[in-house]
């Protein structure tokens, strides 16, 4: 079961209040058989209880479902939901028995919005444990609503709350089927996970990276990492300044997964982020973790081979694909623009249109300055580019950037507008 201060506090609170089984039986809330089943468990040691539930998993699943279906007392509900969370995590046969009972799913989903934080926390932990075994599509929306919106992305910076949200996601997303309904939550969850991976304390940083690593086994999620969420710079940054080996391991393993699953998309982006500036993703260091060293060797070898075989134009395309331009040598190389102007003209100026789109969307000052510089260089080589830039919205954007607060952006935007004007008047 998940270890988290919030969940531990709830667990301790429930464990400290014994259930009055005989009184509940007299009130006709539970049957004599149900009383005997739970009282007999209470007399056993934890390992013995585990073994007893394992031996009689279907019966305990049926009893829990039967009692939960009634509108029971708060202390009884908490006890039963904690029972589900603990034994679904440790006894596969118990989880297998519960996942086939629709009423259990519906009861747990309702508890997420019941208004009792402790019950909601336990219900989320129970749903996570069950969903790891089997996805229930009808309750997945309620689960992700609660975990993403109430825990992970809530306005507060409550560390334990966000850590609980990340751990619940990591549990559920181990089931491949859960990644499909999660896609509509990625737009909120993944950027927050990336932010926490950069700025959070160690435990929350680890939990956030763990979710990103699990998602990197999904090719579709990997493409969104590269094109929508810009996760690669975060992974490289955290890995390069990582003190704890387990943190570095998750970053490198995630990058290695991306390269294995979607090499054509991932390799140019990682290279464009400057990962191979010194010929290696990370400086030489003695690693105790063999899997980390293996992934690192794989990344270094694969990226060096790709980088060495790249033409200057492919290097340029890699930066575009990463949505992040930098002052690499190709930009100030006049010969590059002369030799590759035909590449920019191909497919109705497709690469130029991507460059203009980046200038329209980016908020990074270096990217904006370089984009303006490159637009001027392309126009200088072929004045037909002016109309393409204007139709794509680039002319208006450049005029806006002339008033930018950054000196480099202002200078390059002014220079680009002057070059465009010269070719219009020529």
pLDDT of res. 157? 79
Residue 424 has pLDDT above 80, yes or no: no
| C-alpha triplet 228, 233, 234: angle, nearest 5° | 90
pTM for this model (two decimals)? 0.86
Residue 166 forms part of a structural domain: no
pLDDT of res. 272? 85
pLDDT of res. 402? 97
Do 320 and 344 sit in the same domain of this protein? no
Mean pLDDT score, 189-212: 96
Do 305 and 368 sit in the same domain of this protein? no
Do 3 and 96 sit in the same domain of this protein? yes
User: 């950069």: which residue's tokens?
Assistant: 198
CA 126 – CA 109 distance, rounded (Å): 10
Do 320 and 341 sit in the same domain of this protein? no
pLDDT of res. 80? 96
CA 15 to mean position of chain CA atoms: 34
The number of domains in the chain is: 3
**Residues 84-134 pLDDT 10s:** 999 999 999 999 999 999 999 999 999 999 889 999 999 999 999 999 989
**Residues 237-257 pLDDT 10s:** 999 887 799 999 999 999 999
Per DSSP, the chain holds a count of helices (H) and strands (E) of 25, 0
Q: Which of 394, 313, 312, 347 is nearest to 419 (CA)?
A: 394
Do 236 and 360 sit in the same domain of this protein? no
Mean pLDDT score, 12-37: 92
Q: For the chain, how many residues are written?
A: 426
| C-alpha triplet 146, 148, 79: angle, nearest 5° | 40
Predicted confidence band of residue 331 (pLDDT cuts 50, 70, 90): very high
The least confident of 148-152, 277-281, 384-388 is 277-281
Residue 220 has pLDDT above 90, yes or no: no
**Do residues 364 and 404 lie in contact, with contact meaning Cβ atoms separated by under 8 Å?**
no
Residue 299 forms part of a structural domain: yes
CATH number assigned to the domain comprising residue 353:
1.25.40.150
Do 1 and 126 sit in the same domain of this protein? yes
pLDDT of res. 72? 73
Q: Is 354 helix (H, G, I), strand (E, B) or coil?
A: helix
Q: Which domain holds residue 314?
A: 216-324
Structure tokens at 421: 């004007």
Helix extents (H) in 322-406: 334-361, 365-381, 385-391, 394-401
User: 């007299």: which residue's tokens?
Assistant: 26
Do 320 and 346 sit in the same domain of this protein? no
| The domain boundary residue, chosen from 108, 134, 160 | 134
Residue 389 forms part of a structural domain: yes
Residue 278 has pLDDT above 80, yes or no: no
Q: Higher pLDDT residue, 72 or 168? A: 168
Residue 85 forms part of a structural domain: yes
Predicted confidence band of residue 425 (pLDDT cuts 50, 70, 90): low
CA 424 – CA 395 distance, rounded (Å): 12
Predicted confidence band of residue 426 (pLDDT cuts 50, 70, 90): low
Residue 150 forms part of a structural domain: no
Do 234 and 344 sit in the same domain of this protein? no
Do 299 and 357 sit in the same domain of this protein? no
Do 20 and 124 sit in the same domain of this protein? yes
Predicted confidence band of residue 367 (pLDDT cuts 50, 70, 90): very high
Residue 158 forms part of a structural domain: no
Do 127 and 5 sit in the same domain of this protein? yes
User: 């909120």: which residue's tokens?
Assistant: 188
Termini Cα distance of the chain: 73
Do 5 and 121 sit in the same domain of this protein? yes
**Do residues 331 and 370 lie in contact, with contact meaning Cβ atoms separated by under 8 Å?**
yes
Name the percent of the chain lying above pLDDT 70. Answer: 98
**Do residues 209 and 255 lie in contact, with contact meaning Cβ atoms separated by under 8 Å?**
no
Residue 182 forms part of a structural domain: no
Q: Higher pLDDT residue, 426 or 210? A: 210
**Do residues 376 and 389 lie in contact, with contact meaning Cβ atoms separated by under 8 Å?**
no
Mean pLDDT of the chain: 93
| The domain boundary residue, chosen from 134, 167, 188 | 134
**Do residues 104 and 84 lie in contact, with contact meaning Cβ atoms separated by under 8 Å?**
yes
Mean pLDDT score, 68-81: 89
Residue 279 has pLDDT above 70, yes or no: no
Task: Give Rg (Cα) of the chain.
Answer: 28
| The domain boundary residue, chosen from 73, 106, 134 | 134
Residue 322 has pLDDT above 90, yes or no: no
pLDDT of res. 154? 84
Residue 172 forms part of a structural domain: no
């Amino acid at each position: 079961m998940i270890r988290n201060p919030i969940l531990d506090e709830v667990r301790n609170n429930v464990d400290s209040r014994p259930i009055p089984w005989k009184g509940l039986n007299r009130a006709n809330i539970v049957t004599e058989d149900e009383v005997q089943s739970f009282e007999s468990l209470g007399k056993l040691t934890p390992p013995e209880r585990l073994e007893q539930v394992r031996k009689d998993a279907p019966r305990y699943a049926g009893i829990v479902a039967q009692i939960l279906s009634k509108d029971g007392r708060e202390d009884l509900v908490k006890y039963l939901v904690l029972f589900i969370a603990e034994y679904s995590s440790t006894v596969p046969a118990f989880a297998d028995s519960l996942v086939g009972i629709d009423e259990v799913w519906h009861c747990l989903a309702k508890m997420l919005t019941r208004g009792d934080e402790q019950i909601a926390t336990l219900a989320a932990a129970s749903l996570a444990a069950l969903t790891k075994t089997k996805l229930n599509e009808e309750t997945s929306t309620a689960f992700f609503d609660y975990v993403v919106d109430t825990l992970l992305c809530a306005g507060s910076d409550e560390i334990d709350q966000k850590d609980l949200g990340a751990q619940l996601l990591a549990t559920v997303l181990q089931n491949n089927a859960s990644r499909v309904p999660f896609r509509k939550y990625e737009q909120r969850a993944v950027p927050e996970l990336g932010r926490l991976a950069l700025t959070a304390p160690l435990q929350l940083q680890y939990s956030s990276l763990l979710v990103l690593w699990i998602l990197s086994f999904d090719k579709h999620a990997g493409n969104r990492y590269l094109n929508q969420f810009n996760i690669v710079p975060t992974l490289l940054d955290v890995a390069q300044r990582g003190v704890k080996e387990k943190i570095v391991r998750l970053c490198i393993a995630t990058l290695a997964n991306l390269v294995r699953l979607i090499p054509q998309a991932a390799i140019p982006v990682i290279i464009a982020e400057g990962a191979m500036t010194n010929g290696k993703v990370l400086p030489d260091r003695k690693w105790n973790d063999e899997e980390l060293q293996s992934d690192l060797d794989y990344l270094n070898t694969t990226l060096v081979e790709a980088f060495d075989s790249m033409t200057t134009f492919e290097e340029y395309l890699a930066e575009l694909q990463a949505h992040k331009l930098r002052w690499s040598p190709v930009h100030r190389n006049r010969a590059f623009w002369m030799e590759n102007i035909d590449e920019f003209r191909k497919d109705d100026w497709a690469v130029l249109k991507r460059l203009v789109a980046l200038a329209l969307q980016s908020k990074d000052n270096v990217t904006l300055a370089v984009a303006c510089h490159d637009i001027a260089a392309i126009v200088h080589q072929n004045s037909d580019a002016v109309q393409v830039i204007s139709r794509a919205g680039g002319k208006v954007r450049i005029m806006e950037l002339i008033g930018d607060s950054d000196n480099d952006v202002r200078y390059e935007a002014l220079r680009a507008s002057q070059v465009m004007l010269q070719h219009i008047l020529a």
